[in-house]
Structure 1
């Protein structure tokens, strides 16, 4: 979402109309004379998991501009990505799904129609059969709520005979790194080493992203970083040894079910660093987003020995 701010509870209208996976679109008349229709939310295999869009077509049948906004409840936790162009606020429901309330980027004039596109992503791996979310999402506009489900295409493109789908409740990752790393002298006189850290996601637990962090021992430069992430110094987990340093990095996109990625961490030391063994470095990874935190503190760790070449 272009602009997302956490907000308090966003009230949903009491009335409800059902939009099932088998219905192409459902008109939802409102008491204010504003109507809206939804297409089917169909998620198709993408570069990382699944992606799709729900198109909401709003028609203002009144004689006044409409600018009261739109509220969306995602059918599956952490799948909504973007709701049009307006400023949005997020409320987390007890089942960890997001309820997103957004203003329209501009009012809809009397007699006019506006389309709002809501995009979704899922880390689920494609299957040879179609699936449909076991829970429904909803769109609320001008006091009326219409429900919808997420329909997942099969790996062959079919959407017929879908089976009920519920993602895993908690993440399951593995992480691996070399047993030992030696920093070697570079052309500029300093020392450096590249540490390949491999992370594999074993299920489809909902998440908004993923990250990793590395704690290095004393005697190095004090700023380890990953070449394929947005990094910041000063993390607290894993804890750095005395005199050491910790850096946390956020990596791009979702980590899809069954996907393995390699993160290249860079360790460095100044030209006047003392050669020899320096101690243990620890690297951790974790999915981000409340839905992935069913087991708090369940970060995945691996350690390796660090030395500087003589």
Structure 2
């Protein structure tokens, strides 16, 4: 055997050994347990901002059936609207965008299964005659087993213009501070059949700008002996009351009534002056800072009879 042939045989044997032992060089990486891919997220103009869906495809190659976990980072803070098909999700801390934790809808995936679904988004901002774009969206999938092989995909939110165009989009920058104001009218309490007094405080809330928020809350301070008993339209109401209707559009105004009560022993006449404080919350109930806090409080008179 010639020396040249001997060198070739030795080199081939070494190459095979590298591939088998997984040493750096010619080794082939093992396939992922999961793979995720996304389409394009186009947000269409609607009568309440923009809405659209991100197409997602997940492929599972694990050895046995498994639930798959999703981690979704919003491209626009507060924009996540759910999964289709629907599946429960939980929210992380807003920083300012939230991280959303879900499972791939439809139950456990079988080995080799490919599943498609959408992630829905809605942005409550004024629609524009020009297209916009914002990057930063990300979605990841994990198998949740002891040795997961995971995958992630990034995406941007593309806002279609009211003219229908998607060409040459401008950057979309959302407000970071709320800009809201509250006004309140006087409350006249009337005697009830049981002798107690009941009345309404008319309240008007106006929101400017598109800072992300989950809702607005009213916190009343009432004259001695008067208590809050509810809000109309009906919403959660204890020490503070949630304004019905969900997220506000820029420039939107809503009217509600705080229901207040005084006991039967209260005499007719002026009961004093109350006030109401307006605050917005986002994420885990964090209270947001308003541009002008002076117009976030309104006073009102309370009279019995």
If the length of structure 2 is used for normalisation, what is the TM-score?
A: 0.75
Aligned positions of 1:83-162 closer than 5 A: 83=83, 85-86=86-87, 88-92=89-93, 95-105=95-105, 106-133=107-134, 135-142=135-142, 143-162=150-169
Preserved CA contact (<8 Å) 2:34 2:151: no
Aligned positions of 1:166-245 closer than 5 A: 166-178=173-185, 180-185=186-191, 190-220=196-226, 222-233=227-238, 235=239
Q: Which runs of 5+ in 1 are unaligned?
A: 1-29, 236-246
Preserved CA contact (<8 Å) 2:70 2:104: yes
Cα distance change, pair 219–101 in 1 and its aligned pair in 2 (3 A): closer
Q: Which runs of 5+ in 2 are unaligned?
A: 1-29, 143-149
RMSD over aligned Cα atoms = 2.9
2:72 is the alignment partner of 1:72: yes
Preserved CA contact (<8 Å) 2:43 2:53: yes
1:31 and 1:97 map into 2 onto residues whose CA distance is: 32
1:31 and 1:215 map into 2 onto residues whose CA distance is: 62
Following TM superposition, by how much is the alpha carbon of 1:197 offset from its aligned partner in structure 2, in angstroms? 0.9
Following TM superposition, by how much is the alpha carbon of 1:169 offset from its aligned partner in structure 2, in angstroms? 0.9
Preserved CA contact (<8 Å) 2:188 2:200: no
Task: Report the structure number with the largest CA radius of gyration.
Answer: 2
2:161 and 2:220 map into 1 onto residues whose CA distance is: 38
Preserved CA contact (<8 Å) 1:66 1:109: yes
1:181 and 1:144 map into 2 onto residues whose CA distance is: 59
Following TM superposition, by how much is the alpha carbon of 1:307 offset from its aligned partner in structure 2, in angstroms? 1.0
Following TM superposition, by how much is the alpha carbon of 1:60 offset from its aligned partner in structure 2, in angstroms? 2.7
Cα distance change, pair 262–250 in 1 and its aligned pair in 2 (3 A): closer
User: What is the total number of aligned residue pairs between the two structures?
Assistant: 264
Deviations 1:15-40 (A, max 9, x none): xxxxxxxxxxxxxxx94153333232
Following TM superposition, by how much is the alpha carbon of 1:86 offset from its aligned partner in structure 2, in angstroms? 4.9
- SS of alignment partner, residue 92 of structure 1: coil
Following TM superposition, by how much is the alpha carbon of 1:80 offset from its aligned partner in structure 2, in angstroms? 1.4
Deviations 1:139-186 (A, max 9, x none): 1124222111112233344433321001011000011112x3322345
Following TM superposition, by how much is the alpha carbon of 1:82 offset from its aligned partner in structure 2, in angstroms? 2.1
1:278 and 1:51 map into 2 onto residues whose CA distance is: 48
If the length of structure 1 is used for normalisation, what is the TM-score?
A: 0.74
Preserved CA contact (<8 Å) 2:180 2:290: no
Q: Where does residue 268 of structure 2 map in the other structure?
A: 275
With 199-208 and 55-64 compared, the bigger mean Cα shift is at 55-64
2:289 and 2:195 map into 1 onto residues whose CA distance is: 47
Looking at secondary structure, tell me which structure has more helix per residue: 2
Preserved CA contact (<8 Å) 2:36 2:152: no
1:162 and 1:66 map into 2 onto residues whose CA distance is: 40
Q: Where does residue 164 of structure 1 map in the other structure?
A: 171
1:219 and 1:126 map into 2 onto residues whose CA distance is: 47
Following TM superposition, by how much is the alpha carbon of 1:47 offset from its aligned partner in structure 2, in angstroms? 4.9
- Partner of residue 278 from structure 2, selected from 285, 294, 306: 285
1:188 and 1:158 map into 2 onto residues whose CA distance is: 63
